[in-house]
C-alpha cells in the first residue's frame, strides 16, 4: 500500500484529526485486565444482539451491525492466557465477533459524525480460537461498497499488535456522510472457520506498517534494569525504512511534537539502537522513533515511555523488591481509629488521589466493619510511622489489588466469628514486609494470580482452627496459613506458627490455556507447630530452599513438601528441593525424607517431579536453614514502632519449642479455635501525635526537618521536602525517614547515655551469643562500645548515627544488623526510650548520682569524686570531636582525682566500671 508519494525528500506523514483509538474488550472483566492503555474501551453488553454502538467525542459514533445469514449475535471473545500476565496482549488478544458464524461471518461498521476531509481507518484482525483444531478463512473488506482487501489473511493468537493482521484505508468524507465498511469472512474458502475478530479500531492514526515497532524497553515498562546508569534502546524498523530519527526526553508532549534540530532530536541512526546514559529512577523517559524510507518520506512514530527500577527500601529482596510505592507522591495522614470518614485508614486507602504514602498520626485498634481493599497503584502503607505500640486492624480483611505497593509493619488480627482471610497481594511489583497476621478463619495470606511479589519477614500465626467456618460442617478444622501463587512469587524469611495447615498451600492454578502456572521461590522460612498439613499443592516451577520446619506438640506430619498432581491441567509441576531441615526427623543430608509426591485425577506423570537445579535466580540473601531459623526469629512481624506481646510470645514459643494455650474446641496444643483462647486483643493504647509533630503535614516530622535543615512550614499540599533526594541515592527524603523508622531505631539527647539490649534484637541466637561492633556511621562525634550484649551509646552532638553490629553464637551462626539513632534536643522524642525495656536513656539524676565534678566551669583544673559505687572506674576526658585528651586515669571510690587541661573549650568526662566496662557517668566540663 502506498502511503504517500512525493518528489521531494523529508516529507513528514502526520495523522489527521480527530484521533480515536478503541480497544474491543472481553465482557465481564475488569478494564485493567483487558483494556490496552491509551485506548478507549468498548465492551459488549450481555443484552447485545445485532447492533453495538459506541459514542465518542466530537459527535463521532461507531456502530457494528451483524450482517449475512450466519450467526446469532455480536459477542466478545478472548484468549485468556494471551490477555493476562505475562503476555498482556490486551489489544489483540480479545475482540468482537458474530457468535455461531463459523460458516461465513459478516459485520458492517458504520462511522458517523466525522468532519469533512480525508480520514484513515485502521482495524486489527487477530483470531483467538485454537489453531490446532481450526483453519481460518481470509477476509474481504469493502469501503462504501468498493472492495479494498481481497483475501486478507488473519493472524492467530499473535501477542504483538505490530505483528497482527490489520486493514488500513482512507475515507474521503463530506458533511453528514457516514463511512460504511463491510467485513466478510470468505465463505468460499476451504477453511473450517470463516469467522474473524475486530480487536481494535483506530481513526486518524499513522499506518503502523510504516512505523517503528517492538521497542525495548517495552513501552509502559516501569522497572527497567538501568542499574549501570545506562541502557541501550532498541526497536524493529518498518520493512521499508532505511533510517530512523530518534527524539528523547522527559515530557511526553514535547517528545510527541519535537522537530528535527530541536533539543530532543538525537539524530539520524541506521542501527535501530541508541545508548541512553545518565539514567535516573526519579524520571520518566519518553522517546519516539520516526522512520525514513528510500524516497525520504518520514513516518511519525508513536511516543513510548519507560522508567527505571529502584529498590523499594534498602533490604527489600525477591521479585517484588522494585515496588515503587508512593515515591514522589503525596502524603496522607491517618488521624483517627474510625472505620471510615475523614482521617480514617479506609479513607486513606480508598480515596485514589494518585501516588501516596500513608502515615499514621494515631496508634491503637481499628475495627473494620467490612473488607478493605487497596485497589490503587503506587501506594506505600507505613505502619512504622504510628506512635505508641502502632496499629492493629481487626474485624475484616485488609487486601490489595493494585500494582507497585509497599506495605510495612501492619498488624491484621481478624478474630471470630467472621469467616475471613487476612491479607494478600494479587498485583504486579508489590512487597509486604514485617507484617503480622493472625486469628483468621480462612487463611492468613493469599497471592493467587500475582506477579513479581515478595512476602518477607512476616508472621502468619494462630489461624483459628475449629472455629465454625461458614462453608464447612461444624467441627471442621480450617486453621490455614496461606495459599500462594505468583509469576514469580518470593516468600522468604517468614514465620508460620501454630497454623494447622496450608503452611504453605501452593495454589499455582492454571493459565487461560489450562496449563499449570506460577513460579514460586520459597526459602529461608520458619514453620512451627503445624497440625496435619505442611506445604502442599502445586505450581509449575518451585524453588524450595533452606526452610526450617520445626515440629511442635500439635504436629503429626513430618514431610515438608508434598507435590500434588491432581489431573486438573496440562504441562508440568516440578520442584527444586534442597537444604531444608526438620530437626529430629531429617536434615540437609537426607532431603528425600522431607518431600513427597501424590498423583490423583488420572494424571499421567512422564517427567521427574523433583529436579537437581534451581529454576530461577531468587534475588534473596540466603542462609542455611539453621542460620535462617535464628535470623527470622530475630526480626519478624510488625516490630516497629514496637513489637506487641502476642508476637513476643509466639517467637518465644518457637524458640523454646513450647506452647502456652490449647484450642477451646479441639484441645490441640498451640492451635486456637477462638482468639479468646489466647487472651484476645491486647491493649493497644490510643495515642495521637501533637499538632506540632508535623506542623506542615508533609509527612516529615518537625524534629527530622530541623535535623535535616528542611522547612517545617511548607505551604499546604507542598511535598517538595518529602520528595527531594539531596544525597542522590534514589530514595526520597520521605523514604529516608521510613528507612530510619522501619528498622531498629532509637532516640537520645546530646551527652546522655543510651543503653540498648542487643539480645532483644537477636532473639534467635540463644547459645552463648557474643557481640562485636563492626561500624559506626555518624554525622557527629559519639562514644560507643558493647559490653556483655549491651550497647552503650553517648552522642556528643545532634544529628543521626548508625551502629552496625554482629552477633555470633556458639554454633558459628551470625547476624549483622544496623541500629539507627537520632540525637536531638527535642524532649518528646525520648519518651519511647524511657518506657522501653529494650533500650533506655539514663536520666540526668542517674548520671549525677555516682560522681561530683567541680569547679564548673574550670580555669584548667577540676576534681572528680566518686560515691555510691564499690568498684574502681576508668576516667577518660574527650574533646567534643570524640578524641581522647591525655591518658585515662584509674579512680578509686571515695578518692578525689584532679585533672589538668590547658586548652580552653568544652570537654566530656566519662567513667566506666573497671570490671564490667559499663559507663558509670558522663558529664560535660567547660574550660575557660
Three-state SS at 828 = helix
Q: pLDDT digits over 2-17, tens only? A: 233 232 334 444 557 8
Q: Are residues 794 and 887 in the same domain?
A: no
Q: How high is the pLDDT of residue 15?
A: 53
In a domain, 19, yes or no: yes
CATH number where 234 lies: 2.60.40.10
Q: How high is the pLDDT of residue 2?
A: 29
Q: Are residues 177 and 231 in the same domain?
A: no
Q: In angstroms, rounded to a whole number, what is the distance separating the alpha carbons of residues 259 and 643? A: 59
Average pLDDT over residues 187-206: 95
Share of the chain above pLDDT 70, in %: 96
Preceding amide of 34 cis, omega within 30: no
Q: In angstroms, rounded to a whole number, what is the distance separating the alpha carbons of residues 23 and 40? A: 6
CB count in 10 Å sphere of residue 146? 7
State which of 823, 842, 861 marks the end of a domain. Answer: 842
Q: How many domains are there within the chain?
A: 5
In a domain, 494, yes or no: yes
Q: How high is the pLDDT of residue 3?
A: 33
Share of the chain above pLDDT 90, in %: 80
Preceding amide of 9 cis, omega within 30: no
In a domain, 317, yes or no: no
Average pLDDT over residues 158-181: 95
Average pLDDT over residues 314-336: 98
Average pLDDT over residues 87-93: 93
Q: In angstroms, rounded to a whole number, what is the distance separating the alpha carbons of residues 159 and 162? A: 9
Phi, psi torsion values for 736, nearest 5 degrees: -60, -40
Q: Are residues 877 and 807 in the same domain?
A: no
Q: Are residues 125 and 272 in the same domain?
A: no
Largest Cα–Cα distance in the chain? Answer: 115
pLDDT of 559 > 50? The answer is: yes
Strand segments (E) across 530-644 = 536-538, 541-545, 548-550, 561-565, 574-578, 595-599, 610-611
pLDDT of 329 > 60? The answer is: yes
Task: Collect all residues with Cβ–Cβ distance below 8 Å to 762 and sequence separation of at least 6.
Answer: 630, 634, 769, 807, 815, 817
Q: Are residues 138 and 201 in the same domain?
A: yes
Structural domain including 278 reads 213-308
User: Which of these, 577, 506, 518, lies nearest to 545 by C-alpha position?
Assistant: 577
Q: Are residues 367 and 441 in the same domain?
A: yes
Q: Higher pLDDT residue, 84 or 657?
A: 657
pLDDT-derived band of residue 832, with 50, 70 and 90 as boundaries?
Answer: low
State which of 661, 678, 695 marks the end of a domain. Answer: 678
In a domain, 714, yes or no: no
pLDDT-derived band of residue 419, with 50, 70 and 90 as boundaries?
Answer: confident
Can you state the angle between helices 625-634 and 645-656, rounded to 10 degrees?
A: 150
Q: How high is the pLDDT of residue 546?
A: 99
Q: How high is the pLDDT of residue 836?
A: 54
Q: Are residues 197 and 271 in the same domain?
A: no
pLDDT of 499 > 70? The answer is: yes
pLDDT-derived band of residue 879, with 50, 70 and 90 as boundaries?
Answer: confident
536-538, strands of its sheet edge to edge:
372-374, 398-400, 423-424, 443-446, 480-484, 505-507, 536-538
Q: How high is the pLDDT of residue 846?
A: 66
In a domain, 907, yes or no: yes
Q: How high is the pLDDT of residue 777?
A: 87
Name the average pLDDT for the chain: 93
Q: How high is the pLDDT of residue 883?
A: 87
pLDDT of 381 > 90? The answer is: yes
CATH number where 555 lies: 2.160.20.10
In a domain, 63, yes or no: yes
Kind of pairing, strands 799-808 and 610-611? unpaired
pLDDT-derived band of residue 866, with 50, 70 and 90 as boundaries?
Answer: confident
Q: How high is the pLDDT of residue 913?
A: 84
Q: Are 418 and 752 in contact (CB under 8 A)?
A: no
- The C-alpha cell 513516518 sits at 299
Q: How high is the pLDDT of residue 840?
A: 66
Q: Are residues 394 and 539 in the same domain?
A: yes
pLDDT of 331 > 80? The answer is: yes
Q: How high is the pLDDT of residue 248?
A: 98
> Over 268-314, what HEC string results?
EECCCEEEEECCCCCCEEEEEEEEEECCCEEECCCEEEEEECCCCCC
In a domain, 395, yes or no: yes
State which of 189, 205, 221 marks the end of a domain. Answer: 205
Average pLDDT over residues 122-145: 96
CATH number where 171 lies: 2.60.120
Q: In angstroms, rounded to a whole number, what is the distance separating the alpha carbons of residues 698 and 718? A: 7
Average pLDDT over residues 527-538: 98
- Which of the residue ranges 131-135, 478-482, 831-835 would you say has the lowest mean pLDDT? 831-835
Q: How high is the pLDDT of residue 236?
A: 97
Q: pLDDT digits over 721-771, tens only? A: 999 999 999 999 999 999 999 999 999 888 888 889 999 999 999 999 999
Q: In angstroms, rounded to a whole number, what is the distance separating the alpha carbons of residues 886 and 878? A: 9
Q: How high is the pLDDT of residue 217?
A: 98
Q: pLDDT digits over 289-316, tens only? A: 999 999 999 999 999 999 999 999 999 9
Q: Are residues 390 and 277 in the same domain?
A: no
pLDDT-derived band of residue 781, with 50, 70 and 90 as boundaries?
Answer: low
Residues in the chain, overall count? 928
Q: pLDDT digits over 784-802, tens only? A: 778 888 888 888 888 999 9
**Rg, C-alpha atoms of the chain:** 33
Q: pLDDT digits over 672-714, tens only? A: 999 999 999 999 999 999 999 999 999 999 999 999 999 999 9
Q: pLDDT digits over 833-853, tens only? A: 555 556 666 666 666 677 888
Q: pLDDT digits over 505-521, tens only? A: 999 999 888 999 999 99
Q: Are residues 142 and 88 in the same domain?
A: yes
Q: Are residues 229 and 191 in the same domain?
A: no
In a domain, 252, yes or no: yes
The continuous run of DSSP H or E covering 708 comes out as helix 702-708
| Most confident among 346-360, 846-860, 866-880 (mean pLDDT) | 346-360
Q: pLDDT digits over 235-247, tens only? A: 999 999 999 999 9
CATH number where 889 lies: 2.60.40.1930
Q: Are residues 278 and 163 in the same domain?
A: no
- Which of the residue ranges 21-30, 407-416, 457-466, 858-867 would you say has the lowest mean pLDDT? 858-867
Q: Are 595 and 569 in contact (CB under 8 A)?
A: no
Q: Decide: residue 229, CB within 10 A, 0-12 exposed, 13-18 middle, 19+ buried.
A: exposed
Amino acid at each position: 500500500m502506498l502511503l504517500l508519494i512525493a518528489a521531494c525528500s523529508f516529507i513528514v506523514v502526520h495523522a489527521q484529526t480527530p484521533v480515536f483509538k478503541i480497544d474491543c474488550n472481553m465482557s465481564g472483566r475488569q478494564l485493567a485486565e483487558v483494556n490496552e492503555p491509551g485506548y478507549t474501551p468498548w465492551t459488549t453488553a450481555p443484552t447485545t444482539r445485532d447492533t453495538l454502538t459506541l459514542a465518542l467525542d466530537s459527535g463521532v459514533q461507531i456502530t457494528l451491525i451483524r450482517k449475512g445469514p450466519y450467526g446469532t449475535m455480536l459477542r466478545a471473545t478472548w484468549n485468556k492466557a494471551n490477555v493476562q500476565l505475562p503476555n498482556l496482549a490486551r489489544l489483540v488478544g480479545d475482540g468482537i465477533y458474530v457468535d455461531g458464524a463459523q460458516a461465513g461471518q459478516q459485520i458492517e461498521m458504520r462511522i458517523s459524525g466525522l468532519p469533512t476531509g480525508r480520514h484513515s481507518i485502521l482495524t486489527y484482525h487477530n483470531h483467538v480460537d485454537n489453531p490446532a483444531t481450526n483453519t481460518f478463512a481470509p477476509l474481504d473488506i469493502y469501503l462504501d461498497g468498493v472492495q479494498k482487501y481481497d483475501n486478507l489473511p488473519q493472524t492467530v493468537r499473535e501477542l504483538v499488535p505490530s505483528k497482527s493482521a490489520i486493514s488500513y484505508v482512507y475515507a474521503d468524507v463530506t458533511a453528514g456522510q457516514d463511512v460504511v465498511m463491510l467485513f466478510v469472512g470468505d465463505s468460499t474458502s476451504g477453511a473450517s472457520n470463516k469467522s474473524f475478530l475486530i480487536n481494535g479500531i483506530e481513526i486518524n492514526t499513522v499506518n503502523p506498517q510504516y512505523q517503528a515497532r517492538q521497542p525495548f524497553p517495552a513501552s509502559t515498562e516501569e522497572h527497567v534494569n538501568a542499574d549501570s546508569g545506562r541502557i541501550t534502546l532498541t526497536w524493529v524498523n518498518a520493512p521499508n525504512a532505511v533510517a530512523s530519527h530518534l527524539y528523547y526526553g522527559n515530557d511526553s508532549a514535547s517528545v510527541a511534537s519535537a522537530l528535527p534540530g530541536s533539543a530532543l532530536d538525537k539524530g539520524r541512526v541506521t542501527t535501530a539502537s541508541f545508548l541512553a546514559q545518565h539514567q535516573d529512577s526519579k524520571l520518566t523517559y519518553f522517546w519516539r522513533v520516526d522512520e525514513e524510507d528510500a524516497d525520504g518520506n518520514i513516518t511519525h512514530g508513536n511516543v513510548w515511555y519507560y522508567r527505571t527500577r529502584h529498590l523499594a527500601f534498602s533490604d527489600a529482596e525477591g521479585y517484588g523488591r522494585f515496588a515503587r510505592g508512593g515515591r514522589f507522591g503525596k502524603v496522607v495522614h491517618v488521624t483517627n481509629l474510625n472505620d471510615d470518614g475523614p482521617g480514617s485508614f479506609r479513607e486513606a486507602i480508598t480515596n485514589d488521589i494518585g501516588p501516596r504514602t500513608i502515615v499514621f498520626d494515631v496508634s491503637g485498634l481499628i475495627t473494620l466493619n467490612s473488607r478493605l481493599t487497596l485497589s490503587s497503584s503506587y501506594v506505600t502503607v507505613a505502619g512504622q510511622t504510628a506512635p505508641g505500640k502502632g496499629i492493629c486492624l481487626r474485624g475484616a480483611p485488609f487486601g490489595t489489588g493494585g500494582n507497585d505497593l509497599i506495605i510495612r509493619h501492619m498488624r491484621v488480627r481478624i478474630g471470630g466469628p467472621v469467616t475471613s482471610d487476612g491479607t494478600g497481594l494479587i498485583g504486579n511489583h508489590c512487597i509486604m514486609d514485617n507484617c503480622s497476621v493472625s486469628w483468621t478463619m480462612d487463611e492468613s495470606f493469599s497471592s493467587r494470580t500475582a506477579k513479581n511479589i515478595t512476602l518477607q519477614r512476616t508472621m502468619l500465626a494462630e489461624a483459628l482452627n475449629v472455629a465454625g467456618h461458614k462453608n464447612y460442617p461444624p467441627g471442621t478444622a480450617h486453621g490455614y496459613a496461606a495459599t500462594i501463587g505468583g509469576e514469580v512469587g518470593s516468600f522468604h524469611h517468614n514465620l508460620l506458627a501454630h497454623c494447622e495447615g496450608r503452611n504453605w498451600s501452593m495454589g499455582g492454578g492454571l493459565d487461560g490455556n489450562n496449563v499449570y502456572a506460577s513460579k514460586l521461590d520459597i526459602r529461608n522460612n520458619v514453620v512451627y507447630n503445624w497440625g496435619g498439613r505442611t506445604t502442599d499443592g502445586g505450581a509449575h516451577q518451585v524453588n524450595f530452599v533452606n526452610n526450617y520446619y520445626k515440629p511442635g506438640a500439635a504436629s503429626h506430619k513430618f514431610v515438608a513438601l508434598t507435590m500434588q498432581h491432581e489431573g486438573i491441567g496440562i504441562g508440568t509441576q516440578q520442584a527444586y528441593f534442597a537444604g531444608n531441615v526438620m530437626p529430629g526427623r531429617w536434615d540437609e543430608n537426607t532431603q528425600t525424607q522431607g518431600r513427597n509426591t501424590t498423583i490423583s485425577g488420572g494424571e499421567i506423570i512422564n517427567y521427574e517431579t523433583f529436579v537437581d537445579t534451581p529454576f530461577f535466580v531468587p534475588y534473596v540473601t540466603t542462609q542455611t536453614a539453621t542460620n535462617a531459623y535464628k535470623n527470622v526469629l530475630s526480626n519478624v512481624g510488625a516490630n516497629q514502632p514496637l513489637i506487641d506481646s502476642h508476637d513476643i510470645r509466639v517467637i518465644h514459643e518457637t524458640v523454646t519449642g513450647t506452647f502456652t494455650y490449647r484450642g477451646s474446641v479441639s484441645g490441640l496444643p498451640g492451635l486456637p479455635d477462638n482468639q479468646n483462647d489466647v487472651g484476645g486483643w491486647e491493649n493497644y493504647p490510643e495515642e495521637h501525635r501533637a499538632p506540632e509533630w508535623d506542623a506542615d503535614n508533609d509527612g516529615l516530622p518537625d524534629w527530622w526537618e530541623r535535623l535535616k535543615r528542611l522547612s517545617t512550614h511548607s505551604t499546604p499540599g507542598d511535598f517538595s521536602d518529602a520528595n527531594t533526594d539531596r544525597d542522590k541515592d534514589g530514595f526520597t527524603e520521605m523514604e529516608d525517614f521510613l528507612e530510619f523508622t522501619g528498622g531498629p531505631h532509637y532516640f537520645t539527647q546530646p551527652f546522655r547515655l543510651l543503653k540498648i539490649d542487643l539480645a532483644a534484637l537477636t532473639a534467635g541466637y540463644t547459645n552463648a551469643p557474643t557481640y562485636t561492633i563492626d561500624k559506626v556511621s555518624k554525622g557527629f562525634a559519639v562514644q560507643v562500645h558493647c559490653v556483655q550484649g549491651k550497647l552503650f551509646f553517648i552522642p556528643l552532638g545532634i544529628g543521626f548515627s548508625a551502629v552496625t553490629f554482629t552477633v555470633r553464637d556458639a554454633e558459628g551462626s551470625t547476624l549483622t544488623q544496623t541500629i539507627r539513632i537520632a540525637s536531638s534536643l527535642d524532649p518528646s522524642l525520648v519518651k519511647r526510650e524511657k518506657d522501653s525495656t529494650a533500650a533506655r536513656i539514663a536520666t540526668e539524676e542517674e548520671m549525677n548520682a555516682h560522681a561530683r565534678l567541680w569547679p564548673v566551669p574550670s580555669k584548667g583544673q577540676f576534681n572528680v569524686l566518686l560515691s555510691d559505687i564499690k568498684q574502681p572506674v576508668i576516667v577518660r576526658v574527650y574533646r567534643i570531636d570524640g578524641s581522647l585528651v591525655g591518658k585515662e586515669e584509674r579512680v578509686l571510690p571515695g578518692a578525689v582525682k584532679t585533672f589538668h587541661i590547658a586548652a580552653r573549650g568544652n570537654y566530656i568526662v566519662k567513667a566506666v566500671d573497671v570490671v564490667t566496662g559499663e559507663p558509670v557517668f558522663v558529664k560535660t566540663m567547660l574550660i575557660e
